[in-house]
Amino acid sequence: MPAKDIISFYGNTAEGVITPPPSKSHTHRAFFLSSMSSEGCKISNSLNSHDTISTLNAAEAIGAEVKRYCGNVKIVNTNLHVPSDIVDCGNSGTTMRLFTGMASMFDSPVTITGDASLRSRPMGELLDALTTMNVKCSSAEGKAPVTVCGPNNGGKVSIRGNVSSQFISSLMIVAPMLSRDTDIKIEGNLLSRPYVDITASMMKLFGASVDMNENDIHIQGRTGYKGCDITIPSDLSSAAFPLVAGALNGCVKVKNIDMNDPQGDKRIVNILADAGTCVSVNGKEVTSSSRELNAIDVNMNDIPDLFPIVAVLLSTAKGRSRLYGAPQLRFKESDRIGSTVKMLSSLGADIEGTDDGCIINGVKRLRGGMIEHNEDHRIFMAAAVASLLCDGAVTMKSSKCYSISYPLFVEHMKRLGVNAEV
C-alpha cells in the first residue's frame, strides 16, 4: 500500500479537554421528525456528518425545506410528497431503516437504496412487519434496494426485538402520521432498548402520544407532529473514545455530557469505573485517568456501539474479560465482532470472538501493526485509541470514515497528544 494511502498512530499519552460531537441518534430523529411536523423546527448543535447528511437528503426528498445557518439547521415541512426519484441513503443504516417506515405512509411506491455496505444489511424483519400492515414491499432478498408502497393505515403489528431496534423505531416514527392508532408488539427481548427510548422521548417532544411498557408500544394516530426547537446533546458513544484514551494512558476531561439523557452509552462511565479506571462526574463533565485495569464481564445488549472501544479498554486488563449479549453486532457497518477481533489480534491481543461478543485474556502490552478497518468508523477510531497500549505504531488505510459519527476525531486525538502521521 503506497505510503500516501496510510495513516499511523503513535500512542504517546492522552491528556486534555475535549467536547465530543453531537449525538448522531438524536440528530437523525430530529431531522426526520421535523420533516413531518406541521411547523418549522430549529435544530441547534446538530451533527454534520455523512450519515446525518443522508437523513437530510431523505427529508428533502419528501418535501422538507432545509436551511443551514450559524451551525444550526431549520426544517420546514412545505408539502409532504412522494420522492421523485430513488432515495440513496449512502452508508447510513439508521437513515435507510427509519425512512423505510416513513415511506409507507405514501400511496405510491418509494424505492430506497445505499452503498455496497448498506445493501448487505438485513431489512427483512421490518419489511415483513410492514407487509402485515397492508404495505406492499419488495427487496433484494430482504436487503436494499427496497420498495414500499402504502398507504400504511396503522393497526396492530408484531416484530421480533432481537434483530435491530431501528426496525421498532421505524414503525414508531411513522405512526402519528397514520389514520389509525398503532400497537406494536415486541416479541422476545428487545436489543438496544435505549435507542427505542430515545425515539419515544423525542416523539413526545414533537407532540406525539406514545405509551410504552416492556413489550408493547401504543401510539396515537392522526395527530402528526408539532413544531419543536431542539438542542442536540453530545454523543455518548463518541465520548467513549477520548474517555477510554484517558483511562489507558493519561487524563482526559470530556465536556457537555448529560448523564440524565436516555442514551444507553452513558454506561461507559460505569464500565470504566468497574474496570478500575479513576473516573469522576462533575456536573456535565466526566474525567478519566489511567490506573491499572482489571478484567470485567459486560453485557453489551443495550450498548452495541461501545463494543470495539470496550474491547480495546480490556485488551490489557488483568485477567479474563467477557463481552456478551449483542449478536446484532454481526450486522453493523461491518461484522463488528469479527472486525474487532481481527483488529485487536493484529495488534497482539489475546481475543476470541463468540456468537454475541468476545472473550479477552489481558496481555501486558500490545505490539502495534497494520490493521484493516473496512471503512467502519468505530473500528478505525478504536484502533487509533489502541495505539496508546502499543509498543509500535498502529497503521491503517487513510480514510475519513470516522466522519460518519465523529468528524473531528483525528484532530481531537492530536489535541490530546496522540501522534498521527498520514
Active-site amino acid positions: 305
Close Cβ partners of 62 (under 8 Å, ≥ 6 residues apart): 35, 80, 81, 82, 83, 102, 103
User: Coil, strand or helix: which one is 329?
Assistant: helix
Bond before 151 cis per omega within 30 degrees: yes
User: Coil, strand or helix: which one is 245?
Assistant: helix
The pairing of strands 216-219 and 230-231 is unpaired
DSSP H or E run through 259: none
- Chain position carrying cell 424505492: 111
Q: What are phi and psi of 116, to 5 degrees?
A: -60, -40
- Chain position carrying cell 454481526: 330
161 neighbors 190 (Cβ within 8 angstroms): yes
> Which grid coordinates belong to 273?
469505573
Return the axis-axis angle of helices 377-386 and 236-249, rounded to nearest 10°.
Answer: 20
CA distance 263 to 237: 9
Burial class (CB in 10 A: 0-12, 13-18, 19+), 24: buried
Task: Look at the alpha carbons of 304, 306, 312, 314 in this order and tell me if their dihedral is positive or negative.
Answer: negative
Whole-angstrom CA distances from 314 to 8, 160, 247, 286, 359 are 22, 32, 11, 20, 10
- Which of 354, 380, 238, 234 shows the shortest CA–CA distance to 299? 354
Q: Which amino acid is at 33?
A: L
The pairing of strands 155-160 and 182-187 is parallel
321 neighbors 295 (Cβ within 8 angstroms): yes
CA distance 381 to 85: 35
